Amino acid sequence: MRVYVLRVRTVSEAATADALPVIDMAPLRSEPEGPAAASVIEALRVACRDRGFFSLVGHGIDATRSARVLEVARAFFALPEAERLAIENVNSVQFRGYTRVGEEHTNGRPDRREQLDVGVEREPRGPVPGEPAYWRLLGPNQWPAALPELREVVLGYMAEMEQIALVLVRALARSLGAAADRFDATFTPDPSPHLKIIRYPPVAAGEDQGVGAHKDYGYLAILLQDETGGLQVAAPGGFIDVPPIAGSLVCNIGEMFEVTSRGYYEATVHRVVSPPPGRERVSVPYFFGPRLDARLDPIELPAELVAELEAAGGTRAPDPANPIYAEYGENALRGWLRSHPEVARRHWAGEPSLS
């Protein structure tokens, strides 16, 4: 079982407003060293310290592109079940492909969503004697034969999201008092992004868990969602809704970034509730992950940020024995194996290092 050495908190008591902060990243893209960019970096610092979530505008993704991604997502879920099951993830060593409703669990309960998991298209690797098992996560995606345009649209969108994520990671490094390239070696030259195309069916009697309450494990998530809503973020006293804002993306940091920032940044609990009767929800979260062989490298915080942490309850020395400090690929693989036991049984049986 994975154990985290993390502060137990959700959202800072200072963050009392219901709405997530809205951050315009356009200056980071147009003039990253200018005064407007410095203001954006400060806004990111406050948002990640107090909420761990923010809405992002000025990201450069054309509205037509976003609409097209959601359009092909809906087209995929409209395919006959046999077409979707033809690319079921149990066919993939890399956990890529289609997962039907109820096959993934959060907090011991089945999530009411169906999804398509997509990664970077690379040549398969391994198994190689003496090489870490996680290198087998490299490989191809599965695409539906009846919807050939899905591949081009989704991979093009992922390429654009990677550029946004790199800009944000560099801005986050600066917000922690470091050089912009502080985390570059963690993610380049071969980051491990992962994208989900998700459909949440209408709520069933007694079942409102679209996705149960959880923290994202990795570094950074960027969400494209339709107009239905359903995302909720933990706040003092309960959960707040995150209403969709036209043209925006929703961003949040994960537990690995929280540990990397020595707890200064917040990985916040969130969930998705099922749509009401007669509605469905489609969303496309993009998870920006580091190189598979990257390890956590906690940052040295400037004195003023250390003082903030001490005032909020104290800093913690990094614990190298914490499993989260293992190579990213090892942790990612463990997560996949827990979430998709049938894939684990079919393709990963006999891996003693993963027990």
Per the prediction, the chain carries an average pLDDT of 88
At residue 3, the pLDDT reads 32
Q: Phi first, then psi: give them for residue 159, nearest 5 degrees.
A: -65, -40
- What are the pLDDT digits (tens) for 187-240? 988 999 999 999 999 987 667 788 888 888 889 999 999 999 999 999 888 999
Residue 120 has pLDDT above 70, yes or no: yes
The correct CATH number of 22-349 out of 2.60.120.330, 1.20.1250.20, 2.40.440.10, 2.60.120.260 is 2.60.120.330
pTM: 0.91
At residue 264, the pLDDT reads 92
- In 3D, which of 167, 187, 188, 170 has the Cα closest to residue 179? 170
Q: From CA 43, how far away is CA 36, in angstroms rounded?
A: 11
Using DSSP, state whether 338 is helix, strand or coil. Answer: helix
Within its chain, how far is the Cα of 131 from the centroid? Answer: 27
Percent of the chain with pLDDT over 90: 65
Residue 284 has pLDDT above 50, yes or no: yes
- What are the pLDDT digits (tens) for 313-332? 765 555 566 667 678 898 88
Q: From CA 44, how far away is CA 165, in angstroms rounded?
A: 13
- What are the pLDDT digits (tens) for 50-95? 999 999 999 999 999 999 999 999 999 999 999 999 999 999 999 9
Residue 4 has pLDDT above 50, yes or no: no
Percent of the chain with pLDDT over 70: 90
Task: Give the residue-averaged pLDDT of 338-353.
Answer: 82
Hey, what are 270's tokens?
């969130």
Residue 13 has pLDDT above 50, yes or no: no
Residues belonging to the chain: 355
At residue 205, the pLDDT reads 66
Using DSSP, state whether 23 is helix, strand or coil. Answer: strand
At residue 10, the pLDDT reads 37
- Residue 340 identity (one-letter amino acid): H
At residue 315, the pLDDT reads 55
Q: Are strands 109-110 and 231-235 parallel, antiparallel or unpaired?
A: unpaired
Q: From CA 59, how far away is CA 343, in angstroms rounded?
A: 36
At residue 305, the pLDDT reads 94
Q: From CA 250, how far away is CA 271, in angstroms rounded?
A: 13
At residue 322, the pLDDT reads 61
Residue 271 has pLDDT above 70, yes or no: yes
